[in-house]
Amino acid sequence: MDLSIVIPVYNEEENIPKLYEELKEVLEKLGKEYEIIFVDDGSTDRTYQILQELARKDPHVKVIRFRRNYGQTAAMYAGFQYAQGDVIITMDGDLQNDPKDIPKLLEKIEEGYDIVSGWRKNRKDNFITRILPSKIANWLISKVTGVHLHDYGCTLKAYRKEVAKNYRLYGDMHRFLPAVAKSFGAKITEIVVNHRPRIYGKSKYGIGRTIRVMLDILLVKFLNDYMNKPLYVFGGLGLFMAFLGFLILAYLAVEKIFFGASIGGRPLLILGVLLFLSGLQLISTGIIAELIIRTYYESKQDVPFRIAEVINFNQPSQGENSHNIKTTNNGTNLSEQKGH
């Protein structure tokens, strides 16, 4: 298999038929062996029924259906696990990504890059709720990670198989995959891609996800710089806090011993120390909890999603986890596989 197209979809019944036709036209011209993997992320409209019909007509179309909505990262992770292509291309299912940009992505891959990221330079979205938060987030991510991309949030990306399949994705980490891969020596580039206005349906994202992105930036910084040496970050902060506490206590002791000052009635100082330590503890707890979750999944060889049914697949090409997966070829139920 030369090429896998992975498309997470959630309530995109009006967009899928046109997207399929556009993809078919582009992919047939490439002359490569390909597959189109739609991951239905718990849609509540007719999305899955439409995907079933496409899969019956075209064996190139393969479908993964989640039992409920798990989010875009989980959908991409599932698509990566089942993809068989040497190159995996991800894109949105809302018709805003243009399939005609796929050949340009492949050209860059053939030049030797491991990841080619799309840049929606002329983005057709609301400036206040989508573009402005995205610009701020992209600037922060580039500064923190050292991987300078204009558009981390663009789903239209091309990955070499060995890169896409080499990472487990949790939370909302799919957008940070280039930054994580860079720390392991992956070659990354960026090209300008066409971005089209949404015609049907409505966006599933808003300004509310900005907070999650900020927290993910902290996590990526930790994973990239301190994953193998966590003592450096926790120990450094601990030493700083201990030294600061020693200075405060020494100052209060001098006032008490030499000047007879009362040091018991200092609520402002106590409040400041308490707030600082509480905030630091919460951040540390969040990072530690993330590591614990990753350890949990790795030790059990588990994944953070459950699949109800797949169409036109045999087994995952990598990551042999199956969780009560119903495998269907052209709409016909073949087997009920049960995993741990």
Lowest model confidence (mean pLDDT) among 67-81, 178-192, 321-335: 321-335
pLDDT tens profile 75-113: 999 999 999 999 999 999 999 999 999 999 999 999 999
160 in helix, strand or coil?
strand
How high is the pLDDT of residue 230?
Answer: 63
On the question of pLDDT at 329 being above 70, the answer is no
How high is the pLDDT of residue 293?
Answer: 67
**Confidence band (pLDDT; 50, 70, 90) for 337?**
very low
The Cα 171–Cα 173 span in angstroms is: 6
**Confidence band (pLDDT; 50, 70, 90) for 229?**
low
How high is the pLDDT of residue 210?
Answer: 65
Which residue in this structure is represented by tokens 């993997």? 37
The pTM assigned to this predicted structure is 0.71
pLDDT tens profile 239-248: 777 767 777 7
Q: Which residue has the higher pLDDT, 97 or 287?
A: 97
How high is the pLDDT of residue 8?
Answer: 96
Our measurement of the distance from residue 171's CA atom to the centroid of its chain's CA atoms, rounded to an integer in Å, reads 7
Our measurement of the distance from residue 292's CA atom to the centroid of its chain's CA atoms, rounded to an integer in Å, reads 19
Half-sphere exposure in the Cβ direction for 80 (13 Å, CA): 24
**Which regions of 177-250 does DSSP assign to beta strands (E)?**
188-192
Q: 4: left (phi > 0), else alpha (psi -120 to 50), else beta?
A: beta
Cβ contacts of 62 within 8 Å, gap of 6 or more: 35, 36, 37, 38, 55, 82, 310, 311, 312, 313
Lowest model confidence (mean pLDDT) among 63-72, 130-139, 260-269: 260-269
Is the CB of residue 85 less than 8 Å from the CB of residue 7? no
The Cα 84–Cα 3 span in angstroms is: 8
**Confidence band (pLDDT; 50, 70, 90) for 335?**
very low
How high is the pLDDT of residue 331?
Answer: 45
On the question of pLDDT at 142 being above 80, the answer is yes
Q: What is the mean pLDDT of residues 221-239?
A: 65
Which residue in this structure is represented by tokens 């042999």? 320
How high is the pLDDT of residue 319?
Answer: 47
On the question of pLDDT at 185 being above 70, the answer is yes
Per-residue burial over 48-84, b if 16 or more Cβ lie within 10 Å, else e, is: bebbbebbbeeebbbbbbbeebbbbbbbbbbbbbbbb
On the question of pLDDT at 339 being above 50, the answer is no
195 in helix, strand or coil?
strand
Q: Which residue has the higher pLDDT, 61 or 184?
A: 61
Q: Which residues pair with 216 in a beta bridge?
A: none
Average model confidence (pLDDT) across the chain: 81
How high is the pLDDT of residue 259?
Answer: 78
One-letter amino acid identity for 62? Answer: K
Is the CB of residue 11 less than 8 Å from the CB of residue 37? no
